[in-house]
Chains A and B, each alone.
Chain A
Amino acid sequence: QITLKESGPTLVKPTQTLTLTCTFSGFSLNTTGVGVGWIRQPPGKALEWLALIYWDDDKRYSPSLKSRLTITKDTSKNQVVLTMTNMDPVDTATYSCAHLPPPYNSFDYWGQGTLVTVSS
C-alpha cells in the first residue's frame, strides 16, 4: 500500500525559505521509472505542478518557479524534500507530494497535503 505524507511549517514569513518533507512508504525511489512530485493549490484555486524527482536523481522544475525551487531525495529514509526560497504571501497554498508510477506520467497516489501560510 502506497502512502505519502507531507510535513513542514504551517506558517512562514515573507522572504523566508520553506522546507517541506514528503515521507513515503509502499514503494522505493530506487525502482526504475518511479518519481515523486510536488504540487500546490492556493485556496480556492487550481492545482499547480512544482517539481519532480526521478529514481535516477533526474529533476524537473516548473519553469515559472525554477529559480526558487530545489528538490532532493533521501532513499534511505524514503523521503523527498522540497525547498522554496523567498516566500511571498501569494505562495500561500496546500502543498502536496504524489507518486509517479512507471511508465506513466500521471500521479496515482497523493498525500493529504499541508497548508502553508505566508504572513508576517
Chain B
Amino acid sequence: QKEVEQNSGPLSVPEGAIASLNCTYSDRGSQSFFWYRQYSGKSPELIMSIYSNGDKEDGRFTAQLNKASQYVSLLIRDSQPSDSATYLCAVKGAAGNKLTFGGGTRVLVKP
C-alpha cells in the first residue's frame, strides 16, 4: 500500500509568519507532487504542483521536493487568516495517473 503521511496538526502560526508543512511518501518511484488547499466544508483547490527536486515558488507559496529523502514540503510566507484551511499533499505514483492523498494538515493563522 503506497502511503502519503502528513502531520494532522493543527499548525498554529501568527499572522505574518511562515507556515511550514511537511509530507512524506513511501513510493520511491513517485513522479509528481501536489498541494491542495481545502476550506472547511469545501472541495480541494490545487495550489502548487512540483515535479523535480528543488524549490518552486508561486506568490507566497513555495513547494520544496527532495526525492532522495522522499519528502515534499510547502511554505506559506506572510501567513494571513485567509490561509487557515487544511492542506492536502497528493502524490502520483510511478504507474498510471492516480493520486494518493495524505490525511491533510490543518493550519490556523491567528491575527
Do A and B bind? no
